[in-house]
Amino acid sequence: MRILIINGPNINMLGIREKNIYGSKNYKDLIKYIKEYTKEKDIEIEIYQSNSEGQIINKIQEAYNLYDGIVINPAAYTHTSIAILDALKAVNIPTVEVHLTDVNKREDFRKISYVSYFAKKTIKGKGFDGYIEAIDFLKENYDK
């Protein structure tokens, strides 16, 4: 199974940004954590990060016919981007939305998620483990 993992703006700043909210582990730690988990399993992954909405949309479009599942943490674009939602709908690849923090327990503007209109599942507030749960969910339900 091939899974594309997409991280949106400022996820590359983990370990530096708002440590009281996001913790002290950095983006490299996240990549290592995911790769170590999938290594032993029959899952091919690509991990992509961009601060740009357009690049994230391009990446989703390029996933068409290449990936069997998408795990996406759209970060702040979660709450603003109909264009990312439309790109996901266009390629129609089973998608799980992940947030490191529990967005429902934060500011009101974080309670809206456009991506969740398409995502099969939303995992929030579980830190790095949320990505693992998302991968397992795709593997269990959408493996080819």
Residues in the annotated binding site for substrate: 73, 79, 86, 100-101, 110
Alpha helices in the chain (DSSP H): 19-22, 27-39, 53-62, 82-91, 129-142
Nearer to ligand DQA, 76 or 91 (CB): 76
**Binding-site residue total for ligand DQA (CB under 6 A)?**
10
101: contact with ligand DQA by CB under 6 A: yes
Q: How far apart are CA 31 and CA 117, in angstroms?
A: 27
Tell me the closest approach of the beta carbon of residue 46 to ligand DQA, in angstroms.
19
* 10 vs 55 by CB, closer to ligand DQA: 10
**22 flagged as catalytic:** yes
The number of CA neighbours under 13 Å toward the Cβ of 48 is 21
Token code pair at residue 21? 């909210």
Instruction: Count how many residues are written for the chain.
Output: 144
Residue ranges that bind ligand DQA, judged by CB under 6 A: 10, 73, 75-76, 78, 99-101, 103, 110
